[in-house]
Amino acid sequence: MTTVKHVDFAYTRGMDDSEIEDRLRTTETGVLSLCSEGDAYAIPLAHYYDGENLYFRIGETEGSEKREFMRSPGDARYVLYGTEATDDPRELDSWSVLVTGRLAELDESGYDRFDTAEINRRFSPIRVFDEDIEDVEITILKFVVDTITGRATPS
């Protein structure tokens, strides 16, 4: 085993609430991690943060593994992160935000809020792979937040 003192490392600091909120508002995507009965599932997703709530726009197809994990109860984690080059090619400025909580279906008023025009305004275009467009169902889920933390390298 190698100890940290012999490996390059970078100190990080906690981000304040305004930095975290800025990243939630300006970063369009992250990775959502879910678990169900001992299995884990992680997917890149577009999100929308309105200053209070975090929402995901999901494209689902009948019988998909994603759909099953989304509907299972339990904790979820959402990670946003980024890096930027510095003057030293061996170093990067970096940051990450971790949100813990769980997914919840929107009620009727929530779906009224997210009509097609609003979905197109608030989320990046949906990525479709080998599915027929007619088979893809768009779902908006709310992320019920328990905690939000952020880390960054000092600037």
How many structural domains compose the chain?
1
pLDDT 10s digits, 93-141: 899 999 999 998 887 777 788 888 888 888 888 777 777 878 788 888 9
User: Where in the sequence is the domain holding 77, given as residue range(s)?
Assistant: 9-148
Tell whether 3 is covered by a domain: no
Tell whether 155 is covered by a domain: no
**What CATH number does the domain containing 84 carry?**
2.30.110.10
Given phi > 0 = left and psi -120 to 50 = alpha, else beta, which region is 145? beta
Tell whether 72 is covered by a domain: yes
Which is it for the CA torsion 65, 70, 74, 76, positive or negative? positive
pLDDT 10s digits, 35-69: 888 888 899 999 999 988 899 988 877 777 777 77
Tell whether 90 is covered by a domain: yes
**Rounded mean pLDDT of the chain?**
85
Tell whether 2 is covered by a domain: no
The residues, ordered by sequence, that sit 6+ positions from 119 with a Cβ below 8 Å of its Cβ are 57, 138, 140
